[in-house]
Amino acid sequence: MRKLASICMLSTLVFMLAAAGAFADSSGNFTATGTSASCVAVPATFSASTCTNSGQCPAGAPTCTAGVCTSATACTTSSDCPSDTVCGLSGVCVGAGAFTGATLTGGTSLTSLTTDIRTPNGYGTTLLIRPSLDTGLFTKTSLTTTVADATADVGIQVCVFVDPVVSGSPGHQTFTGGLPVFPSQCVVYDQRIQQVSNTLFGNLATCIAPAPAGACTTDSDCPVGNTCTNPTDGVGAGLCQAPAPGCNFQVLLTTLSTHGFDFVVPMPGNGTHNVAVMWSEIGTTKSTAGGTTASCVGPAEITVQQVKNFHNDSRISFTNN
């Protein structure tokens, strides 16, 4: 009888140890890597070219001379001038009449990150991979008398690989092949297309505003698109000025954006909990004259990770819609 009891106790111990091992394997695993290098965005500085007083001029061309911001620096080309000026027709540096200075700096020089994770055997083992990036984009389009339209297109695409073929040096590696990744191996995290066109330079001879008409005090007293010219600010002392026909600038911006982000919700206890994601369009651009906006979502994914999932009864599914 004692021998049988010992065997039962031994069997129970083995079962508990096996269960503990399975319990530990089921509790999941986690790994992470990254860099703290940060991008910094600041507004550009406008360098005036024309002026009525020296206080309106940039540091590189500090003197207002005959209505032009002028520097004492002689030049042959704009490379001879400070960063906020250009070489004028008079052979000296003058205000650039444009935005100058870097607006996006910092960030990391790395182009890839890698890490290893150990997974146990068993049905239902899944890797949840979330690349989270703080990103910045800059676009610039310039028009001249010989350039009537311009396009700037820049974006950031992120791709995920598992067990790929690796080439290149650490931090600057390239990857091919590997296990299937869902819902998509590569996703656009940011993309901006900026397009500008104008009819001004080609119509300078005819780009003449009509005579002002209609008494006004402020712009709100005029038809939409007109401005109130009222030098004295007197009530009803101004005139409504319509824009010159055929003289305009047009700017188009199209943006795609995705960013990873982790939300943490401590669970209050046992029970069924519904998890949902909602998105909506925000902003007030449509309320301004000439403003047009559009939004788009996709690919979209909701992932919920319970780090201690002891039952493989949660179905994983994706759709192409």
Domain assignment of residue 123, yes or no: no
User: Is the model's pLDDT at 288 over the cut of 50?
Assistant: no
The answer to whether 29 and 310 are in contact (CB under 8 A) is no
Question: How many other C-beta atoms are found inside a 10 Å radius of the C-beta of residue 222?
Answer: 22
Domain assignment of residue 311, yes or no: no
**Structure token pair of residue 94:** 């003058």
What is the pLDDT at residue 174? 87
How does the average pLDDT of the chain come out, rounded?
A: 75
Q: Is 57 helix (H, G, I), strand (E, B) or coil?
A: coil
What is the pLDDT at residue 257? 73
Pairwise pLDDT comparison (311 vs 190), residue with the higher score: 190
Give 240's contacts (C-beta < 8 A, 6+ positions apart). Answer: 212, 213, 214, 215, 216, 221, 222, 223, 226, 227, 228, 229
**Structure token pair of residue 312:** 């493989």
Contacts of range 112-120, beta carbons closer than 8 Å, 24 or more positions apart: 112/171, 112/172, 112/173, 112/174, 112/175, 113/33, 113/34, 113/35, 113/171, 114/33, 114/170, 114/173, 115/31, 115/32, 115/33, 116/31, 117/29, 117/30, 117/31, 118/29, 119/29, 120/25, 120/26
User: Is the model's pLDDT at 221 over the cut of 80?
Assistant: yes
Distances (CA, A) of 319 to 19, 40, 82, 178: 36, 37, 56, 22
Give 26's contacts (C-beta < 8 A, 6+ positions apart). Answer: 120, 122, 308, 309, 310
What is the pLDDT at residue 301? 64
What is the pLDDT at residue 16? 41
Domain assignment of residue 122, yes or no: no
**Structure token pair of residue 184:** 């998509």
Domain assignment of residue 57, yes or no: yes
Mean pLDDT calculated for residue range 143-149: 73
The answer to whether 219 and 212 are in contact (CB under 8 A) is no
Mean pLDDT calculated for residue range 117-140: 77
What is the pLDDT at residue 205? 66
What is the pLDDT at residue 13? 38
Query: Which residue carries 């040096």 as its tokens?
Result: 169
Mean pLDDT calculated for residue range 168-175: 87
User: What are the pLDDT digits (tens) for 188-197?
Assistant: 888 888 888 7
Could you give the number of structural domains in the chain? 1
User: Is the model's pLDDT at 270 over the cut of 80?
Assistant: no
Domain assignment of residue 195, yes or no: no
| H helices present in the chain, as ranges | 2-26
Q: Could you tell me whether strands 98-100 and 45-47 are parallel, antiparallel, or unpaired per DSSP bridges?
A: antiparallel
User: What are the pLDDT digits (tens) for 241-250?
Assistant: 887 766 666 6
Mean pLDDT calculated for residue range 159-173: 86
Q: Which of 53-57, 210-214, 292-296 has the lowest mean pLDDT?
A: 292-296
User: What are the pLDDT digits (tens) for 54-109?
Assistant: 989 999 999 999 889 999 999 999 899 988 899 988 899 999 988 888 888 888 88
What is the pLDDT at residue 177? 85
Q: Which of 151-155, 210-214, 230-234, 271-275 has the lowest mean pLDDT?
A: 271-275
Which residues constitute the domain of residue 97? 37-107
CA distance 184 to 203: 49
What is the pLDDT at residue 248? 62
User: Is the model's pLDDT at 24 over the cut of 60?
Assistant: no
Domain assignment of residue 78, yes or no: yes
